[in-house]
Chains A and B, each alone.
Chain A
Amino acid sequence: MIIDQEKCIGCKLCQPYCPMGAIEYLEEEKKCRINLDECVECGICLRPDPCKKGALYQQELDELRLLRQVFSNPLVPHKTTSVPGRGTEEMKTNDVTGRFKRGHAGVACELGRPGTGTRFKDVEKVAMAVAKVGVTFEPHNPVTALMVDNTTGKLKDEILNEKVLSAIVEFDVEIGKLSEALTAIKNVAPELDTVFSLDLACRCEPDNSVPAEEIARSVGFRPSINGKTNVGLGRPLAEEE
């Protein structure tokens, strides 16, 4: 995003909308300017049309700026998914896809959420930490598409300093390795320069229990009282193994 310096009158009406705080006010010039290193190209500032002078505009984006946009603007679908936003269908359609089977768990570590943003170097730290456990990265996830090696979690060097609103390291893990994977995430957390929100998805057992919950507790996580439930109304139902 760019602010046309000729048109800007320095009213600062656009400033509160930026989730990254990337709109700076230049005292001397009495104008606002976007800090492009911090701007994640989410387009959030443009959507409510706060600028009465038409100074805010979306510039033409090169490859790296487009990368920022696809991870930050939920209205832009990534080429690896048909789903708008930076996520996947994950457990939302698990009743139909059978993506997370009994005996497995789905884990997603969303770096930069809430409201902080992340650089890919932090995303790589988490991906490489869990790769050592022997997880299977979700093939349709946009972060997985940026890996040079799915067995190590290593990302392309040229993107490591790019900042995005959030990025999700998403994987399937055998239930027997879940505690190890969660512990790896816990251990890498102090090395990060951002926050992350952590998800754990699991197929319910016939008795309605969810085995992953107890495993998470056993390694020191406290699941929130609220979460998401796929109520199993999708058809055709995925075949159970």
Chain B
Amino acid sequence: MTHTLHRYGTAESLENDYVIFAIAAQTVNAKGKAPVFGEFFNIVEKYNYVFCGDMKTGNKYTVGLESIREGFRDNSIVHAVFTEKEEVAKVLKELAEADLGLSIVVSGILDHVDECCRKAGIKRHTVEYSLGIHGKTEKLPQEDELLAINTMCGHGMIAFNLIRHMVDKIKAGKKTPEQAAKELASQCHCGVVNPTRAAELLKELVK
């Protein structure tokens, strides 16, 4: 149902992980919205985001910012990842003032996002909860950090084995955690992985 829900992790780790994205309703207000996504992007770019991408084009690492800017369409879904809730509050305030008409969704610690909304002078409309992972959970890896990195890409484009492969590369001194995190994040077409958080999680896995 959603590509930014179910981000697994400890409270301490999730405190540094927020995604803001914009989308138009295809059956209601999408027509002609392509340039409005540009206005959204201009706003988020003023703040300290760590990764971004458009579902229709690709992410900052694989296609670059120019391609993202030039590729907005009426059915784009444009994302930016932040590590500080204070930045999220500022972005929301400016988005509310800009009144773009796009639906804006924030993924992150729900109480923090509610606090950001209050600071921005807006009221939450709809909330979506993750009720966890169930079923045959013995099929999942045992390392929590591995699951935390994998679940940042809700489309499942970062294989558990690729994360293990990167851990081996770091241990062998062939990559830094930051380089490995960037390579993992580039797998996420939408640009919703948090590479800063991923690097910290990789450091834990290397230990």
How distant is the Cα of A47 from the Cα of B120 in the complex, in angstroms?
39
Q: Is the CB–CB distance between B126 and A201 below 8 Å?
A: yes
Please tell me which one of the listed residues B107, B108, B156 contacts residue A113 in the complex, with CB atoms under 8 A apart: B156
B135 touches A195 (CB 8 A): yes
Closest A-chain residue to B157, C-beta based? A44
Interface locus among B44-52, B91-99, B171-179, B195-203: B91-99
Question: Does residue A88 face the partner (Cβ distance < 8 Å to B)?
Answer: yes
Which residue in B2, B21, B113, B161 is a CB contact (below 8 Å) of A21?
B161
Q: Mark A8-44, 1 if CB is under 8 A from B, else 0.
A: 0000000111110100000000000000000000101
Contact call B129/A213, Cβ cutoff below 8 A:
yes
Report the interface size for chain B: residues with CB under 8 A from the other chain. 80
A192 to B139, CA, bound (A): 12
- Number of A interface residues in the complex (CB < 8 A): 81
Contact of A97 with B28 in the complex, beta carbons under 8 Å = yes
B129 touches A231 (CB 8 A): no
Say yes or no: B129 contacts A216, CB within 8 Å.
yes
CB distance from A40 to the nearest CB of B (A): 9
Residues of A within 8 A of B (CB): 15-19, 21, 42, 44, 47-48, 74-75, 81-85, 87-97, 100, 106, 108, 110-116, 165-166, 168, 170, 182, 185-186, 189-190, 192-204, 208, 210, 212-213, 216, 221-236
- Write the residues of chain B forming the contact surface with A, with a CB cutoff of 8 angstroms: 1-8, 11, 14, 17, 21, 23-30, 55-56, 75, 77, 92, 95-96, 99-111, 113-114, 117, 120, 122-137, 139-140, 147, 150-151, 154-162, 164-165, 186-187, 189-190
